[in-house]
Amino acid sequence: MIIQSQRVWIQQHFIAAQIHIENHRIIKLSKYNEYPVDVDYGHHRLLPGFIDQHIHGAYGFDTNDANEEGLKTIMKGLVSEGVTSFCPTTVTQHPIVLSNALKNVAHVASQSIKGAQIVGIHLEGPFINVTYKGAQPQEHIIKANVDLFQSLYHDSNQLIKLITMATELDQDYRLLQWCVDHGVTVSIGHSASTYDETVMACANGASCITHAFNGMSGIHHRNYNLAGATHRLQEVYAEIIGDGNHVVWPAIHSLMMAKGPYHSILISDALSVKGSPQGEYTLGGQKIEVRADGSAYIQGTNTLSGSTLKMNEGLRNLIEYAQVPINYSINAATLNPANNLKLTNKGRIAYGCDADLVILDDTYSVIATYVLGQIVYTKGS
C-alpha cells in the first residue's frame, strides 16, 4: 500500500511525501507523486499515531473494572481521535482489584483487536502520598512495597511499563530501582517530593513526572518543590493534561518551553465518563460530576478527578491555545511518549517503524487512522 499527502510529518517538519506500507511497517518513503498511490490525502496533515500513556477509561468503562468487553470498546473508540497506542491506567485500589484489572488487560492485549494497541499498563498508585492523593481513594494508599509490586507485575504478564509513585516514600529507592532494572519507567506523582528529593529520585532512575502541576508540591520562589523540579530537570519527561482545566494555557506554555521539544508528553488522563454528557456519575464507588466544560470533579468539591479530553483536541489546544510550537506539540503526542515507554518502532514516520498514522484536517478533526498499516477509522463511516 502507498499513501501520500502534501503535509507528512517527517524529521520535525511537514513535507510532501509518499509512505510505502507492507507487513505493518513503513518500508520506504518517497517523493510526492513519485509512484501510483492507493490513497492521496491531499493537503491534510499526516502524522504519526497518537500515544496516550495515561488514560483510565472512556465510553462508560474503566481499567479497574476488569471488563473485557469494556476494554475492547475503548480500543475501538480511541482510533476516532487518532490514538493508535495507549496504556490502560489503573487507580489506587485494593490489591485484589488491581490484580484482576491487570490480568484483564494482559488477556485483552494478547488478542487481535481492530483498534488502538495496548502497548503497556500504567500503574498509578497505590504507592503514593496521601497529602497529594487528589481523587485517589485514601483507604487503599500504601507505602512502596517491592513484594506487592512484583506480584502485580506478574499478574500483568510483565505488561506494566509505567508506574506513578511517590518516590520520597520509597525507602532506599528499593522499588524505584527494581522497576528501572526491569524496564519499567518510573514517574513521580501524587507526591510531596521536595526539589532535592526529586533530583535524588531522578538520579536513582525516575525519568518522568505524572500530570505536571497536579497532585504534587507546588512552585514557590523560595521552595521550588516537585513542580519546580519538573521545570528545571530538562532530561526528565513531564506529562501534561492538555484540557486547559487541569493546567492553564500560560503554565502549559511555560513548562513546555522549559522542557524543550523532546520531553513533554500530552496525556488525556481520561475517565470512564469520557464520551458522556454533562451530569452526575459514579466512578469506583465515588460520585463524579462532569461539568459543561468537560472537566470531571469529585461531586460537591473543587477536586479534579480526571478529564474527558480527546487527544486530537489536546493537540489542537497545545498549538492554538497554549501557543506552543508545532513540533513541541506534535512530539508531545507521538515521539516523546514513544521514547518514554521505550517503543522504538513508534512515534515517528520513518523506515522500519510501525505504520501507525493519523490524518487530520485543519480543524484537527480525524480524517483517518491506521494501526499497523490497517485503516481502522475513516471519518463518516
170: left (phi over 0), alpha (psi -120 to 50) or beta: beta
Give how far the C-alpha of residue 225 lies from the chain's centroid of Cα atoms, to the nearest Å.
Answer: 24
Nearest to 357 by CA among 366, 170, 339, 365: 366
Q: β-strands 366-371, 45-48: how paired? A: unpaired
Nearest to 187 by CA among 207, 158, 160, 217: 207
Alpha-carbon distance of 145 to 101, in angstroms, equals 19
Residues of the chain by 3-state class (helix, strand, coil), percent to 5: 30, 30, 40
Alpha-carbon distance of 221 to 118, in angstroms, equals 41
- DSSP E strands: which ranges in 50-143? 50-55, 57-58, 61-62, 83-88, 117-118, 121-124
- Among candidate residues 52, 62, 155, 269, the one labeled active-site is 269
Give how far the C-alpha of residue 152 lies from the chain's centroid of Cα atoms, to the nearest Å.
Answer: 21
Nearest to 77 by CA among 312, 264, 343: 312
Active-site annotation holds for 269: yes
Alpha-carbon distance of 247 to 240, in angstroms, equals 8
Alpha-carbon distance of 169 to 167, in angstroms, equals 5
Contact 341, 53 (CB under 8 A): yes
Q: β-strands 264-267, 237-241: how paired? A: parallel
CA angle 126/132/133 to nearest 5° reads: 40
3-state secondary structure 332-358: HHCHHHHHHCCCCCCCCCCCCCECCEE
Q: What is the DSSP letter of 80?
A: G
Which active-site residues does the annotation give? 269
